[in-house]
Structure 1
Amino acid sequence: MSTALHLAGPDDLAPLLKLVTAFHAEMQIEQADETRQNAIYPLLDGSPYGVCYLAGPRRAPIGYVVVTFGWSVEFGGLDAFIDEIFIRPGVRRRGVGGDVLSALPKALASAGIRAFHLEVDKQDTDTQRLYARAGFERRDRYTLMTRRVS
């Protein structure tokens, strides 16, 4: 299956929020709708911190991916973190996720991204295999750690 990626803009907020809400429900991420919208909207309106892409037809997207940007001395410059990736359950296992992961480096090549990172549930071996097929490698020596600020 070939899946087109479309850079999401302000006009895509409503369909994107439906997808993000579905993903958050599936992953048991509790977040107020207003907080979710406030986190997404700047990425649709030219924020230098990241972008959102819709997967599939623009009018009826079947998924999305949020990519945020950072800087890494280790990787030699600009890096990207796949913050969220979601494909509607009804179209999973048809190659859409692999297509999205394959298209991202091409879509962001001109931005000078040196590395992509993501996190995956340690128990989710199916998703780990998908990411490995897309070229992601485990870094067993490292563990992602988080400290909330507020």
Structure 2
Amino acid sequence: MTRWELGPVPPVSTGAARAWSLARAESHDRGALITLLGAQFLEHDIRLTPEQLAVSVDGVLSDPTRGLFIVARVGGNTEPPSERPPAPYPGAPVPPAPSSPSSTIVVGIAFLSFMWTLEHGGVSAWLDVLYVVPAHRSQGIGRALLTSALEASQQRGCVAVDLEIEASHARAANLYLRLGFRPHARTRWVKPLKGNMF
């Protein structure tokens, strides 16, 4: 499998002169991934323990064929500690405080998994997560993560990208519509196996 490489993404300055960048997640991002995923799932009232999230994250970081995490980072030097993502639940790891000029804090994530589909006639990507820490929303980070996820899917040879959103998330729906997604008139169903989901 060809390792996905993110093309250059220029940093975007916000009103407070902070800049962010995108990259493929690496093993040193593990704690931040678990923390942000916990926060994202809590927004949807899905309560997973840090241990459950760690199994999922480790499974991807140890085997890139399972999927791809893309992260948005804010330069640690310009990020006050009070704006670091808080632990979303007891025991959740929190990204460490910046310790050097090169340190950064992860403030957004996208996760893609890949599967062979009959409906699309080939490999399809499933955009499982697109999340930006609330304090960093409305800065273009979500759109950039989504655009990079689409780019990565094309590089992987995918013929389509699927996702789901909650009906009440009009803001997310508008972003997906602007980037060419169209809703299915379907209802997704799920059956947990082995009693280990939700």
TM-score (norm 1): 0.89
Find the aligned partners of 1:43 and 1:128 in 2 and give their Cα distance: 27
| Structure 1 residue aligned with 2:97 | none
> Equivalents in 1 of 2:40, 2:155: separation in Å?
29
Counterpart-to-counterpart distance in 1, 2:21 and 2:150: 13
Q: Hey, what's the Cα distance between the residues in 2 that align with 1:4 and 1:79?
A: 26
Q: Report the counterpart of residue 75 of structure 1 in structure 2.
A: 120
Cα distance per residue 1:100-136 (max 9 Å; x no partner): 1112122232210111111000122121111111211
Equivalent residue, structure 1, for 2:70: 53
Aligned twin of 2:148:
103
**Pairing partner for 1:39 from 56, 65, 73:** 56
Q: In structure 2, how many angstroms separate the alpha carbons of the residues matched to 1:34 and 1:111?
A: 30
Q: Retained in 2: the 8 A contact 1:50–1:69?
A: yes
Structure 2: unaligned runs, 5 residues or longer: 1-10, 13-19, 75-102
What SS does the aligned partner of 1:65 have?
A: strand
2:44 pairs with 1:27? yes
TM-score normalised per structure 2:
0.69
CA RMSD, aligned part only?
1.8
1:114 aligned partner: 159
Structure index of larger Rg = 2
Count of residues in Structure 1 that have an aligned counterpart in Structure 2: 149
1:74-120 deviations in whole A, cap 9, x for unaligned? 21210011111110101112221111111212223221011111100
Identical aligned residues as a percent: 24
Q: Unpaired runs of 5+ in structure 1?
A: none
